[in-house]
Every structure is written in structure tokens, then in C-alpha cells.
Structure 1
């Protein structure tokens, strides 16, 4: 029996950034988005904050804090209660808790008690983004809001016999008991960033929790290297309902560790089984086998491109890949 061919780098992009693009696939984008509801708040009635499937919209019908418009183009679901962030967040909390109690949505079974921020458009002279409300993490895909996280790649670098840098990357395997992407490969450190938490402080916390990396080392040596953005349509490996929306912005960091083995990532919680110290060829082989969690594959590709380990000479889809790693999301960002 023939085995499946290895996934190309562009395959990995397409599998994670799977929502149709408005510029490159305008017909597919239009056909898809016209079936969805646009999430809005009364304070910004023209600004879409996320996309909601009709099955989810049906649950919000006739709730006093929400106005569902089935006739307009686009169809909308507007949070009409609450004049400030705290009041809106309270309404959203009561709504999502009620949805959880019905047991209708499997994705809500993974309740985290973590709040994710939802921002509005820039306003005022400072053009500062307004925090409109916060939402329970596991409910985010039901409302299609943008979520944020931090992903760090720890690596070592030595000089080969040919005088060129040789990289090895620390790759963890997720615990097989995890409800989402159990047993898949991950970035060295990765996690979501909650409301009120700075990205770098989130990174420092995750480095300790997931990889036992010393705080002083992380604070002094971790380097921010931009972002990776994509619009994922969740499949069965994500857990819960399929077809839910996950537009995300990941803040990407690099951390070069000593090549003498004096600092080694180690599991510090039950989320990671073990760490591998892999050559670039081993990492690329695992990418081709689709062993990485989808968004983590994109962060690895970004790392390989930034360090000249994937180049325009050896990757025929280089331009599309580098562009797609930084998708322009159609919702307000932090």
C-alpha cells in the first residue's frame, strides 16, 4: 500500500490558513462569508469583530442582550447591552456560561477560566485600540474572534566543518492526553495571552510552565521576531465542533541556548511528554509528515525562513509562503 506523499510547505500553510482569501479567492470568500453572521457591538455598529456560524447564531436568537438581524447584508449579531468593557464582559460571560450549561457545544467542555480580549477600531487622537470586552478562551471559536498568543523557538547553533552554521531545534511532543492535538509536535514554548497580560510576560510565564527555562535567561536572551497570522477553520484534531473559526496572531520569539547542553528544556507540567533536540533535516521531515500542530508548523516555517534555512532558491512557493505567514486579518487587532 502506497504511503501518502510528504506535505509541501505550501500544503502546511493551506491547512492552517484555511479561510478563503478576499483578494486571491474573492468568489470563494464571498460565497463563504455571505452564509455567516458578523459579530458586532452597539458602540461600533459597522465594525465586524468575528464570524459566527448559523448554528451558533440560532442559540443567540431571542436573548435580551443580543440583537440578531437575519435580513441585512451582511447578517449581524450585535451585543446591545453594556456601555463599557466591564458591563459587556459580564453579558458575554453570562451568555457563554448559559451556552455551556446546555451541553450543546462540545468545544465548551474544555472550559479554561481564561479570558481573551476583543478589541475595537482605533479611536481618538492617540488611535488607541479600545478593549470592548473579554471572553472565555474556549468560547472564542464559536464567535470567531481574533485570539493572541506567544510562540518561542529555542535552538542551538554550532559551526560545521564547512564553516556554516548548523542549527538544532528543541521540539516538544504534546501530551497524548491533551484534548486538543494530543501527541502532536509543538513549538518549544507556546501559549495564549489573556486579557491584561503583556505578551512578553506571557512568554516568561509559559517558558517556566512548559519548558523549565530560567526567567533571567528568557528576559535577557529571548528576541521578538515579529508575528505570524492566519485564519484557521478548525477540524477534528482541534477538539469540539468542526468548522469553527480561529483567526490568530502569534507573537514570535527566538531563544538561542548554549550548545554545551548547560540549559536544556524540560517538561514542567502535564502538557508536554518530552523534548527532542532535532537537526533541521529532522524537523523538516516531521513537517512533511504533518506531525506538528498546524499553527506550530507555520511558526517553524517562519523560523527556517528568517534564518536562511528555507530560501527562494530551494522553495518554489517561497513568495506565497512568506506572504501567507503574515495574513492581513479583517478584524481589529490589539
Structure 2
């Protein structure tokens, strides 16, 4: 028997819930240290204990409390994001030089933001290092679909077999992480051109914002690098109905091919576990929003919908343009 929709959602949103089992949740957290920044009374992420032990922390700017299981970046009260970012970057660079972590071999040269209470921008760090600190990352996913005489079909890409993360698995039509200062829609426009060779004019004219999906994922071996790292994420969701004559084509080395699949074909691929975990979540969300997954045909409907929109236990930021 294949994976159910709830199985797939649970595989992505697989960090324990305090409400389900308080003892299990607390026991699980014993494997991590909370990442904090001085002057802010909040947890910005969770760092695996093994990472805490191996990371080359500079004595003059980090405080590690083993009893409280916290790692705190300590800076002067007037420190700004540039100062904090520089200190973190210097130690990440040391970790790379000393070959401390496998995950850092997937260096992206992209910066991910870290936000404090009220969405205050605190610092940024190299994307490849972000799972080591367990910070919230942000991305945007687009589902491209067509309506033809046979019904609704979805453009599904297969990830390149040489990708460091989730090689050869199926993906959403367009997806990408949001760097510091990037807006969700602009991320989609950029990724649509880079990954799927979709004309900017088509994407800007017809893409529709459809909400977001949130989850807290514990990485396994398929993600590349160290396992057990926590990766909480916010994924902004978009739909794009394409004319049958518009055909996505790989625009970089991240995608091997695109296939136009019927809804039953997508459902079968999901059940076989062929999709990248978070992309399975986005696809299930698409099914809910388009009335393909309903309370009448899915016994776990309520739990699935709730798990697609996890309330994250870290500060998050609004990407509203002001």
C-alpha cells in the first residue's frame, strides 16, 4: 500500500508537537541547543547538540550554556545586522576551512535572513549553513497547470540526479528559496525564468497568490549533509494556469525534465513517495484548494489541513511591501 496524504504531510512536518505528547516533545528538545541573540528574549532556531560540539565558536562573541542548552551570539547593545552577520559569517568560514560539516559543501553563496520579534531583521547567513542553526527559512512555490479536453494537468519537473539535495525526486513546477530582501512574488518570477524558462510576461500577468504552507522538518539523508537538523519553513504558494502552447523547459542544471501529468498520475507518484517532502505538501495544498481533496473523499482532511499550516514557535516576518 502506498503513502496516504497524511503520511506525506507528516513526513514533511515531522518535528514533534508539544500538544500531542509533552514528554516526547521535551525529550526530543534535549537533542538541541536553542539559538539566541543577546538582547532578544526568543529562540531563533534549534542547533543539534553534535553541531554545537563541532562548530568552531569564537570565544569572544558566543556564550554556550550547556545546562540551559542555549547558544547565544553576544554583541554590544548597539550592534546592527551587519555586525551580527559579520561575526556569524567569520565562524561559518572557519567551519568551512576546517571541513567541519558535510552540509557546507553545498555552498550556495546566497544569504538567508534571521528575524526577531515583530519581524525585526537581526542578521543574515549563508543559505547552506542555515539548517545548522535551525532558523526559519522562506521560499516560494508555484504550481503550473493546464486545462485541456481531458481535464486538469500539472507540469511536474524531476530534479537533477546530481543535485546535493533530494536528487531525482519530483518537484513543484517552480520553487526557490528567498534571499534577504527578496519578495515572494519576485522570487517566483526569477525562479520561473531560471528553472522553467517561462517568459516573465506570462508569469507576471497570470500568476495568482494562493496563501502559504508552513511546517517544521527534521532533515534525513536525502536532504544531503548531516541528519537531524531542524528546518522550519514558510513557503508562499502560487498558481499559474498556462496556455497549452506554453511548455516549461529546464533553464539550468537543477531540473532534468518536465512532464505534464494528469491528477491521477500525480496522486500515484505521491503515493509512491516520488516527490520531495515539502513539494508533496504543496501539491496536497493545491488539491485542497482546487476541490480535489475534500472532507468527503479524505478521512484525514481536518488533520491534513491543520498540518499544512503549522504555527511556528519562532519569530517570523511579514513580506508585505511597504
Q: How would you bin the TM-score normalised by the shorter chain?
A: over 0.9
Aligned-residue offset at 1:31: 1.2
Where does residue 49 of structure 2 map in the other structure? 54
**96, 104, 110: which one aligns with 1:114:** 110
What is the 5 A alignment of 1:202-281? 202-258=187-243, 261-281=244-264
- Output one character per residue of 1:130-177: Cα deviation in whole Å (capped at 9) or x when no partner: 1000010010111000000010000012466xxxxx210000001111
Aligned-residue offset at 1:104: 1.7
SS in 1 for 2:236: strand
Distance 1:86 1:23, change over 3 A: same
Where does residue 63 of structure 1 map in the other structure? 59
Aligned-residue offset at 1:62: 5.8
**2:64 aligned with 1:81:** no
Structure 1 vs Structure 2 CA RMSD = 1.2
**145, 161, 175: which one aligns with 1:155:** 145
Aligned-residue offset at 1:60: 4.9
SS in 2 for 1:310: coil
d(CA) in 1 for partners of 2:56, 2:11: 30
Unaligned runs of 5+ in 1: 123-128, 161-165
- Output one character per residue of 1:312-332: Cα deviation in whole Å (capped at 9) or x when no partner: 111110000000000011001
Contact kept? 1:61, 1:68, Cα under 8 Å: no
**96, 99, 104: which one aligns with 1:100:** 96
Contact kept? 1:49, 1:331, Cα under 8 Å: yes
d(CA) in 2 for partners of 1:255, 1:79: 42
Where does residue 141 of structure 1 map in the other structure? 131
d(CA) in 1 for partners of 2:303, 2:22: 17
- Output one character per residue of 1:9-35: Cα deviation in whole Å (capped at 9) or x when no partner: 111011111100111232211111133
Where does residue 17 of structure 1 map in the other structure? 13
Q: Give the count of matched residue pairs.
A: 314
Unaligned runs of 5+ in 2: 318-322
d(CA) in 2 for partners of 1:25, 1:250: 26
Distance 1:182 1:35, change over 3 A: closer
Aligned-residue offset at 1:234: 0.5
Contact kept? 1:81, 1:91, Cα under 8 Å: no
Contact kept? 2:58, 2:91, Cα under 8 Å: no
d(CA) in 2 for partners of 1:25, 1:314: 29
d(CA) in 1 for partners of 2:165, 2:30: 29
